[in-house]
Each structure stands twice: as structure tokens, then as C-alpha cells.
Amino acid sequence: MNEPILAPSLLAGDHGALAEAAATVSRLGLAWLHLDIMDGHFVPNLSFGPETLAALRRHGSTLFFDTHLMLSEPQRYVEPFARAGANRITIHIEPAYDHAAAFKAIRAQGCKAGIALNPGTALTAIQPFLDQVDLVLVMTVQPGFGGQAFREDMLPKIAQVDRWRSERGLDLRIEVDGGIDRATAARCRANGADTFVAGTSFFADRDRAGFAASFAAL
Ligand code: DX5
Ligand code: ZN
């Protein structure tokens, strides 16, 4: 089993002081930062763009930028995000574009590639691409907003990706995103997830060191 990784989501940080929010994550000894990019089209909300990543780098962040593109045309933004400092670029299966070409482009930029699917999307949609990515992001809420309730009904989906991973010997991380806290993370872990995005629960916790330690022990 892959070691557990906690990836705090910057979306829940103070948008007037994002560099400080990223620094909070580094100071805890965490390695990853999750960046939610929204276009007001694929999802009904807007967040930040490549310039935000570049600014975080200029402010000294060396975190692994786990970049989640919630965009209708993600293939158009691979290069700008890679140039701005993304380490992983995760794109959704739902919009129509050349997915295989986009994964290739992500890797050609030197980034790791991820594939994401919404709660309403069947797993069969991502099946053909499993050998082209390093990570599967199983959304555990409908994307667009932080602070939503975890969808218990996504647990069997996580378990199925985990089964495919072992049956086919795939080198994949399984990430969950949406409504993740200490309790829901444990349930996802029991079903095979190893990478945990936490926005609201992370930034709202007064004992962030304890929070991080509980994920390391999953
Ligand atoms: C949802 C985003 C998430 C969000 C999670 O559209 O993809 O990454 O930041 O937020 P919480 O942890 O508050 O559910
Ligand atoms: Zn996300």
C-alpha cells in the first residue's frame, strides 16, 4: 500500500494571504499542496490561475503543487500551469477533448498526470486511460465548492480502482477530494485511497500538527 499523503487545499486558505497559507503547510513538514483551478464553466465557481502558482513559487514555496484543473478545455492550459510551477496536473474525464493527447502533453512538460471523475461519472469512462496516468482522483463531492458533505456512496468506487490497481499491477495513487476530514479519510483509506485532499477541515483545525499527524498514521 502507498504511504498516506495529506494534500491541503489552498482553496480553503485566506485568499488575501495565499503565500502565508502555503507556508503554513510547509511548516508542518507536509510535502503537497492541492490547487483547485475553476473556470466558471465546467464548475459554477472561479478560483485562481497560473499566475497564482507562479506567485507562490516567487514567494519561495517548494511544495509539490498538486494541480486540479476543473476546466472545460484543460488541454489549453497544460503548458501555462506547467510553466507556472505545477508538479502534477489532474484533468477531468467529463469534457470532450483528446484525453490521451492531453496526458502526453502533461508528461512532456515534465509533470505527473492525473485523471479525475465526478461522483456521477461511471468508472468505465476512465478505464482506458489508467496506464497513462500516475493518479486517479475520485471526487467525493460534486466539484466547485469547498465545505460540502462527503459522499459515502463513493467508497465502492475507490475500492474498484484499488482492485484494478492490484489486478493490473498499476503504479497509481488514488486520491480523494471533497468532505475529507480525519473520519472520512479513514473510511477512504480502508477502501484503498492513499492521497487525501483536505480544505475546510485542515484550515479550520486549530491543532493542524495533530491533524497532519493523524493522516500520517492512516
Ligand atoms: C472541490 C475541490 C476541492 C475542495 C475541497 O471542488 O476540488 O479540492 O477544495 O474542499 P473541502 O475539503 O472543504 O471539501
Ligand atoms: Zn480539488
Atom of ligand 1 minimally distant from the CA of 150: 14
- For ligand 2, the distance from its centroid to the CA atom of residue 42, given in whole angstroms, is 13
- 109 DSSP assignment: T
Which residue out of 66, 162, 177, 194 is catalytically annotated? Answer: 177
For residue 36 and ligand 1, the question of a CB distance below 6 A is answered with: yes
Number of C-beta neighbours around residue 213 at 10 A: 13
For residue 90 and ligand 1, the question of a CB distance below 6 A is answered with: no
Atom of ligand 1 minimally distant from the CA of 68: 7
Those residues whose C-beta lies under 8 Å from the C-beta of residue 139, and which sit 6 or more positions away, are 116, 117, 118, 119, 154, 177, 178
pLDDT of residue 27: 98
pLDDT of residue 1: 87
Q: Catalytic residue at 177?
A: yes
Mutate to test the pocket of ligand 1, among 46, 67, 141 (most ligand atoms within 8 A of CB): 141
Domain 5-216 has CATH 3.20.20.70: yes
Ligand nearest to the CA of 10: 1
Asked whether the beta carbons of 151 and 140 are under 8 A apart, the reply is yes
**DSSP result, 155-198:** HHHHHHHHHHHHHHT---EEEEESS--HHHHHHHHHTT--EEEE
Q: Among candidates 73, 10, 44, 50, which has minimal Cα distance to 145?
A: 44
**DSSP result, 38-92:** EBSSSSS-B---HHHHHHHHHTT--SEEEEEEE-SSGGGGHHHHHHHT-SEEEEE
Ligand nearest to the CA of 147: 1
Atom of ligand 1 minimally distant from the CA of 9: 9
What's the CA gap between 70 and 14, in Å, rounded? 20
Q: Among candidates 73, 83, 79, which has minimal Cα distance to 39?
A: 73
Q: Chunked in runs of 10, what are the mean pLDDT values of the chain (218 residues)?
A: 97 98 98 98 98 98 99 98 98 98 98 98 98 98 98 98 98 98 98 98 98 98
Based on its alpha-carbon atoms, the radius of gyration of the chain, rounded to whole angstroms, reads 16
Q: What amino acid occupies position 58?
A: R
- For ligand 1, the distance from its centroid to the CA atom of residue 177, given in whole angstroms, is 6
For residue 178 and ligand 1, the question of a CB distance below 6 A is answered with: yes
Q: Whole-model pTM?
A: 0.98
pLDDT of residue 80: 98
